Copies of this chain bind each other. A is one copy, B any other.
Amino acid sequence: MTSAKGEEPAKSLHDQIREDLEAHILSGDWPPGYRVPSELGLAKHYGCSRMTVNKVMTQLAGAGLVLRRRRAGSVVLPQRSQNAVLEIHNVKDEVLAAGGWYSHEILSRRVTDGGVDLSCLHRKDSVPFCFEHRVIALDAVPDARDEPFADQPPGTWLLAHVPWSEAENEITAEAADADSAARLGIAPGAPLLVMTRRTWKNGDLVTEARFVYPGGGHRLRARFTPTPG
């Protein structure tokens, strides 16, 4: 074994190419609207056949990262917001979409065994909007160790840095305990909407987050279709 962990089982060519293209897109190097090189161009660049890049581009299109049209070519799509699913949860975008002014504050931050443990208060128009507690796995996201999450809240930062392959949301309603009530500025016992989200990449847990909203004024919305397409 030449590698320390043996975590690299000789990735396939199309996996390598896909990761390379994902990096271009997620990093903003290729911003929304950017015209992706043609399949023939990519095949030449990577020194492989067109079928191989075709497979990659098909995957990226399925993931909603690019839009492909004949003759017009492939362009990078804006955001990553609405998949056919309970959209990937991003409190910042949620506030901005509602026309609010967004700010956040990291309340605590701690590096534990294998993970970064965070709590974060999100505000809309300076009013507490959502309390978030999150754990990020350092195996999956090593960069998180030294990231202060000052410019961007954790969820937004992660979306821009880590592609995900699977996610799960669990939603419950709970009565506010004294602690949550104080953080969110509501009465103890008031209903809370609590969403727990887990995100994986290739079977490895990337992050787990718990979002607590005051129940009254908040709604989670999911829009979807029965057929994958």
Q: Are B224 and A85 in contact (CB under 8 A)?
A: yes
State the interface size on chain A (CB cutoff 8 A): 44
Min CB–CB distance A79 → chain B (angstroms): 12
Name the residue on B nearest A221 (C-beta).
B170
Question: How many copies of this chain does the complex contain?
Answer: 2
Known contacts A85-B84, A175-B190, A175-B215; A63 and B226 CB within 8 A of each other? yes
Q: Are A85 and B222 in contact (CB under 8 A)?
A: yes
Q: CB of A220 within 8 A of chain B? A: yes
Q: Mark A173-185, 1 if CB is under 8 A from B, else 0.
A: 1110000000000
10 further contact pairs, Cβ within 8 A, besides A166-B225, A172-B193, A172-B215: A85-B222, A85-B226, A86-B86, A164-B226, A165-B225, A170-B222, A171-B222, A172-B220, A174-B216, A175-B191
Interface residues of A (CB under 8 A from B): 59, 62-64, 80, 83-86, 88, 163-175, 189-194, 213, 215-216, 218-229
